[in-house]
Chain A
Amino acid sequence: MGKVTMTVNGRQMTAEAEGRTLLSTWLREGLGLTGTHVGCDTSQCGACVVHVDGQPVKSCTALAMDLDGAEVRTIEGMANADGSLSAIQQAFQDHHGLQCGFCTPGMVMAAAALLKENPKPTEAEVRHYLEGNICRCTGYHNIVKAVLAASGQDVSGLGIAAE
């Protein structure tokens, strides 16, 4: 047991960790930041994606103790400074890119990482990048649409056909 300190969403935060404490547990139980979800424990579903030093990381497979001093961004730190939704979050709402919302924090964090790396991805690039994030509700259609929209691309042809 020891103290681990990280800069989380711009603030220095300290909480206890055992050697086996996962970053996801440290965030959820140690700091009470429960927006980061754990959906599979085997690094498959991506509900737990956070950014560590600017890179997307599945926090259920990182050890908190290894990350002492790291800079971490979680879903709680994604909105704009004035509290309004960021462009990616807004696109998810505008295009119904979430249903139950459990996988959503990881989806938003993964999408943000993609758009940083590749500001105008193709549909295929979005789908490939999100392979490590599982959603059971949406069939991915509206998630991919939201990410394309957040990158400024026209998605008007991807809705319900007119009656």
Chain B
Amino acid sequence: MQAFGKSQSVHRIEDRRLLTGQGRFLDDIAPRDALHAVFLRAPIAHGRITALDLSDARAAPGVHAVFDAAALAQAGLAPAMEASLRTNRDGSQGANPPRPLLAGDRVCFVGQPVAMVVADTAAQARDAAEMIDLDLDPLPAHLALEPGGPQIHPEAPENIAYDWAIGDEQAVEAAFARAARRVAITVEQPRLLAASMEPRGACAEWDGQRLHLCFSGQGVWTMKERLARMLHLAPADVRVTIPDVGGGFGMKAMPHPEYFVVAHAARALGRAVRWASDRSEAILSDNSARDLRSDAELALDENYRILAYRVRNWSNLGAFNSEFAQGIQSGLFSMVATGAYAIPAAMVHSRGIYTNTTQVDAYRGAGRPEAITVLERLMDKAARQLGQCPFDLRRRNFIAPDAFPHDTLAQDRIMDGEFARVLERARAEADVAGFPARRAESEARGMRRGLGLCFYIESILGNPTEGAAVEFHADGTLTLFVGTQSNGQGHETVFAQFLADQTGVPLDAIRVVQGDSDRIARGGGTGGSRSVTVQTTATVAMVGQMTEAFAAFLAPELGADVAFEDGTFRAAGSNRTLTLIEAAALARAEGRDDLLRHEASATLEARSYPNGAHLAEVEIDPETGALRLERYTAVDDFGNLLHPRLVEGQVHGGIVQGFGQALSERVVFDPDGQPLTGSFMDYALPRASDLPFLRFVSEPVPTATNPLGVKGCGEAGTVGSIAALVNAVQDALGDGADVQMPLTPQRIWELFARSA
């Protein structure tokens, strides 16, 4: 076995095709003869369908078929999509109103799919969709993030989807009753769009017996299972593949209704059918994100030690349960609710609310950025309100390095961490000592300057089990099959590099295959910052098994003590050495085909908990509300870094998604539920000119929970950045009302105007 942690930043294998226009994104590789699908979507937020006449559309030029809910029912498709449900506080299940693929008698949000047209060209399909006669009787819409109002589903009285809690409420109440100090805050987190640059899409083919669905996703196996059940196919007759993916961020992990309708159409028509969402459609129909309000409170003793913490969340689920929606602001929120602090008593109480809006589900961090943002906004407020240094207050309450393993509120275990060391490194790297001088300099120019700190902890989620397989080819190359799924992070490079590192096989002799349910039996896809940790752990297991098998095979030739070291098999009594590729060639020559394929899976012993300190420094023009991010320092403990340059890229991207939430992004509806942020002209994604260069510093505390000592890095940037940025604005404002996201120039201007 090779030494671990050969951290190096090799060039990405995938870059060449992506830089020369040879990327293979979904809509780049659709079969040339595929028919085009276009959806007709609900134009109002809530209404009863009184008429749906497809006859003109069906007769339009180039049209092959038009599908509506009745057509799907007639074909025998299952009546509703699946979703995971929470268990309520009273032991009952969360509400499960049926979520149809196509609206039947009622539409429940603007953008809900109602019918799908399939035609020779996309333009013909669009023209025909406009000829569909859809009559609606409007119903009152429920949009407020509170119970009550016009009821959307009979299954959900008061529009409450679930009512869930964790923690010892009595202990919390008792601690609050005896606390010397109490600090409370309300944090509103705006509704966001994942806004992957490549919109969603799918292409399906039917060969008379088997279905092949190619889609822009984050893992093939859930989709395969769901397709088989929805279309009543044997799982063996369903193949799902994922090509190059232009960003997913959690949104693309979830089944969406369009994929099933496209698959059904391909089967019904015996033709390939492709659908590519345009941006307006993506904004209306992709799962949205965040959208919650939290009331949080800390109880502290006279020495500023935290005695208890409680949070009450209201989470907007949109009109239906999306795949994992009920779990985000409840279970996942609670994973890191108490952050890096030793808090003796804590509780999270979360309620989900249905509204007449697009479904809400996972997005970069899924519950963990939300939880840390609430906690770190409150820690910041506590420091201000109690006259404490924000660094000292946090230090005083950190879980001490000798207090691990630490049992969390969510009944998980944090195995390691040196939070004070990470915080001190950040204080030095960000030159916090020089901040007063920089602030004075800003103020001399009539500007305001603020410094914001967030100390976050992140929990790696997703399936803790993963598999890896290799196949040796006659030409001296091998294929590595992985169950994770790149969405642009660079997995092809990282996993090939790691296998090369472990086996001595040259990088260019390794090809990574992912995202094909016919070639890979199972896997967990991408999500929860899991990929590097689980995939390398599986690879280590597979390499161990493989080298043992080859050692046994080579023993008669080399000697009984044959071992695999530095990429070669050797034995003490022989001068002969063989590389892995040579050993495979020998096995092939001797007819040992069983040695040409190796497969293993491994399960992580425990979750890892990346953590870090993010410091944002902003300058604000109080006359205009314009904000400039002057400095940004992220000091992160991700354990060992496998490919530092890719890790840095994950941090940058994560920070800027948090920047969007903190400062500019928000989905807005009018009082009738019409979305007003229907394009990138209205929905404010961060642009290059909004940002400075960002500083990433690695302060690793390698974890013992996996062989490499890695902790995961995919979501941490977002988890740490939101509160850091908002706290920086709050600091620039000085005392005053708690600020709320997104802190657009208008909001900032109003805050300064009010406080002046």
A interface residues with partner B (beta carbon < 8 Å)? 18, 20, 28, 32-42, 44-45, 47, 74-76, 78-79, 85, 89, 92-94, 96, 98-105, 108, 123-124, 126-128, 130-131, 133-145, 158-161, 163
A133 and B648 form a contact (CB under 8 A): no
User: What separation, in Å, do the CA atoms of A54 and B454 have in the docked complex?
Assistant: 47
Contact partners of A133 in chain B: CB under 8 A: 688
Q: Which residues of A contact B198 (CB under 8 A)?
A: 37, 39, 100, 102
Closest chain B residue to A39, Cβ basis: B197
Q: What's the nearest-Cβ distance from chain B to residue A131, in Å?
A: 5
Q: A93-B11, A98-B18 are in contact. Are A139 and B488 (CB under 8 A)?
A: no
Q: Is B229 an interface residue (CB 8 A)?
A: no
The total of interchain contacts (Cβ-Cβ below 8 angstroms) comes to: 199
Q: Which of B494-502, B512-520, B652-660 lies at the interface?
A: B652-660
Closest chain A residue to B689 by CB distance? Answer: A127
Interfacial chain A residues near B657, Cβ < 8 Å? 136
In-complex Cβ contact of B27 among A34, A127, A135, A136 (8 A): A34
Cβ–Cβ contact A138 & B652, under 8 A: yes
* Smallest CB separation, A99 vs chain B (Å): 4
Which residues of chain A have C-beta atoms less than 8 A from B278's C-beta?
38, 41
Most buried by B among A32, A124, A145, A161: A161
Question: In the complex where A40-B680, A139-B653 touch, is A35 in contact with B195 (Cβ < 8 A)?
Answer: no
Asked if A102 meets B246 with Cβ closer than 8 Å, knowing A45-B680, A93-B15, A158-B693, the reply is yes
How far is A75 from B28 in the complex, measured between Cα atoms in Å?
Answer: 14
Q: Are B679 and A44 in contact (CB under 8 A)?
A: yes
B11: chain A residues within 8 A (beta carbon): 93-94
Which residues of B lie under 8 Å from residue A44 when comparing CB positions?
Answer: 679-681
Verify A103–B19 contact, CB threshold 8 A: no
B1-51 contacts to A, CB under 8 A, are: 9, 11-12, 14-23, 25, 27-29, 32
Q: Are B653 and A99 in contact (CB under 8 A)?
A: yes
Query: Chain B: which residue is nearest A94 at the CB level?
Result: B11
Contacts of A98 in B (CB 8 A): 15, 18-19
Considering the complex, give the chain B residue whose CB is closest to the CB of A141.
B652
CB distance from B655 to the nearest CB of A (A): 6
A136 and B196 contacting across the interface, CB-CB below 8 Å: yes
Taking CB atoms, residues of chain B closer than 8 Å to A100 are 196-198, 244-247, 487-488
Nearest residue, chain B, Cβ from A44: B680
Q: Tally B residues with Cβ within 8 Å of A.
A: 67
Tell which of A20, A33, A108, A163 touches B19, judged by Cβ atoms closer than 8 Å.
A108
Determine whether the beta carbon of B691 is less than 8 Å from that of A99.
Answer: no
Tell me how far the C-beta of B229 lies from the nearest C-beta in chain A, rounded to whole angstroms: 30
A142 vs B22: C-alpha distance when bound (angstroms): 21
| A139 → chain B closest CB, angstroms | 3
Pairs A–B under 8 Å by Cβ, sample size 27: A32-B32, A33-B21, A34-B21, A35-B28, A40-B679, A42-B680, A76-B21, A92-B15, A93-B11, A98-B19, A100-B198, A100-B245, A100-B247, A100-B487, A101-B246, A102-B25, A102-B197, A102-B247, A127-B691, A134-B680, A134-B687, A135-B688, A136-B195, A139-B686, A141-B652, A160-B698, A161-B697
List the 8 closest A-B pairs by CB distance, nearest first: A35-B21, A100-B488, A102-B246, A101-B18, A139-B656, A139-B652, A34-B28, A44-B680
Task: Tell me which residues across on chain A come within 8 A of B700, comparing CB atoms.
Answer: 163
A43, B15: Cα distance in complex, Å: 25
Q: Is A99 a contact partner of B693 (Cβ separation < 8 A)?
A: no
Residues 231-249 of chain B, each 1 if its beta carbon lies under 8 Å from chain A, else 0: 0000000000000111101
Closest to B32 in A: A32
CB neighbours of B429 from chain A (8 A): 161
Across the interface, do B22 and A93 meet the contact criterion of CB distance under 8 Å? no
B 633-646 binary contact with A (CB < 8 Å = 1; else 0): 00000000000111
B689 touches A128 (CB 8 A): yes
Q: How far is the CB of A127 from chain B (nearest CB, A)?
A: 4
Quick check: B656 and A160 within 8 Å, CB to CB? Answer: no
Given contact pairs A45-B197, A47-B197, A102-B247, enumerate 18 new A-B contacts (beta carbons under 8 Å): A34-B25, A34-B29, A78-B21, A89-B20, A99-B488, A99-B649, A101-B15, A104-B19, A108-B19, A135-B197, A136-B657, A136-B685, A137-B488, A138-B652, A138-B653, A139-B691, A160-B644, A160-B645
Complex formed: what's the CA distance from A93 to B645 in Å?
A: 11
A127 surroundings in chain B (CB, below 8 A) = 688-689, 691
Smallest distance from the beta carbon of A78 to chain B beta carbons, Å? Answer: 7
Chain B residues with Cβ under 8 A from A108's Cβ?
19
Cα distance A69–B233 in the bound complex, in angstroms: 51
Q: A32–B21 Cα gap in the complex (Å)?
A: 11
Q: How far is the CA of A158 from the CA of B649 in the complex (A)?
A: 12
B447 at the A interface (CB under 8 A):
no
Given contacts A37-B25, A104-B19, A160-B644, contact A140 B691 (CB under 8 A): yes
- Mask, B686-724, CB within 8 Å of A = 1, is 111101011111111000000000000000010000000
What chain B residues lie within 8 Å of A103 (beta carbons)? 197, 246
Is B279 close to A, CB under 8 A? yes
Q: Are A138 and B649 in contact (CB under 8 A)?
A: yes
Smallest beta-carbon distance B190→chain A, Å: 17
Complex Cα distance A43/B593, Å?
55
CA A32 – CA B123 in complex, angstroms?
17
Q: Which of A20, A92, A145 contacts B123 (CB 8 A)?
A: A20
A140 with B487: in contact, given A85-B19, A98-B15, A126-B688 (CB under 8 Å)? no
B199 within 8 A of A: yes
Interface status of B489 (Cβ within 8 A of chain A): yes
> In the complex, which residue of chain A has the Cβ closest to the Cβ of B489?
A99
**Which residues from chain A contact B689 at a C-beta distance below 8 Å?**
124, 127-128, 130-131
Closest to A33 in B: B21
* B703 → chain A closest CB, angstroms: 16
* B698/A163 in contact, CB under 8 A: yes
- Set of chain A residues within 8 Å of B197, measured between Cβ atoms: 37, 39, 45, 47, 100, 102-103, 134-137
With A and B bound together, what is the CA distance between A4 and B655 in angstroms? Answer: 45
Judge whether B490 is part of the interface by a CB distance below 8 angstroms.
yes
Taking the nearest CB of chain B, how far is it from the CB of A118, in angstroms? 15
Q: Chain B residue with minimal CB distance to A9?
A: B21
Q: Which of B23, B245, B695 has the most CB of A within 10 A?
A: B23
B689, chain A: closest CB distance, angstroms: 4
Inter-chain CA distance A134–B680, complex, in Å, is 10
Could you say which residues of chain A place their CB within 8 Å of the CB of B717?
139
The interface residues of chain A lying within 8 Å CB-to-CB of B655 are 139
How far is it, in angstroms, between the C-alpha of A105 and the C-alpha of B111 when the chains are bound?
Answer: 30
Q: Which residues of A contact B687 (CB under 8 A)?
A: 130-131, 134, 140
Please tell me which one of the listed residues A32, A37, A40, A144 contacts residue B693 in the complex, with CB atoms under 8 A apart: A144
Which chain B residue shows the least CB distance to A100?
B488
Q: Which of A40, A93, A139 has the most CB of B within 10 A?
A: A139
